[in-house]
């Protein structure tokens, strides 16, 4: 069985932003998963950051989609 390497392509502490990026990746048929991780030293110990993970082979395509979203939201 082949094991795929997963990499983080986006992190945020805003669940709504994570969900929006996740849906854009889903629309592009990029397999992804959301993971929680504790933030360190810059926040309270209970704060969590959400990460979107994708297969390494889909990383560049995922970044294209995320970059387009970030540029669009910056211009609004």
Domains of the chain, with CATH numbers?
Answer: 7-75 (3.30.70.790)
Strand partners, 55: 6
> What is the torsional sign of CA 34, 13, 61, 55?
negative
Residue 43's pLDDT is 53
How confident is the prediction along the chain (76 residues), in pLDDT tens digits per residue? 567 799 999 999 899 999 999 999 999 999 999 998 765 555 555 567 899 999 999 999 999 999 999 999 888 7
Q: With left for phi above 0 and alpha for psi between -120 and 50, is residue 29 left, alpha or beta?
A: left
């Amino acid at each position: 069985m082949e094991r795929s390497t997963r990499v983080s392509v986006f992190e945020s502490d805003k669940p709504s932003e994570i969900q929006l990026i996740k849906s854009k990746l889903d629309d592009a048929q990029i397999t992804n998963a959301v993971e929680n991780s504790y933030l360190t030293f810059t926040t309270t110990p209970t704060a969590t950051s959400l990460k979107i993970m994708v297969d390494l082979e889909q990383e560049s395509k995922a970044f294209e989609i995320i970059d387009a979203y970030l540029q669009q939201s910056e211009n609004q």
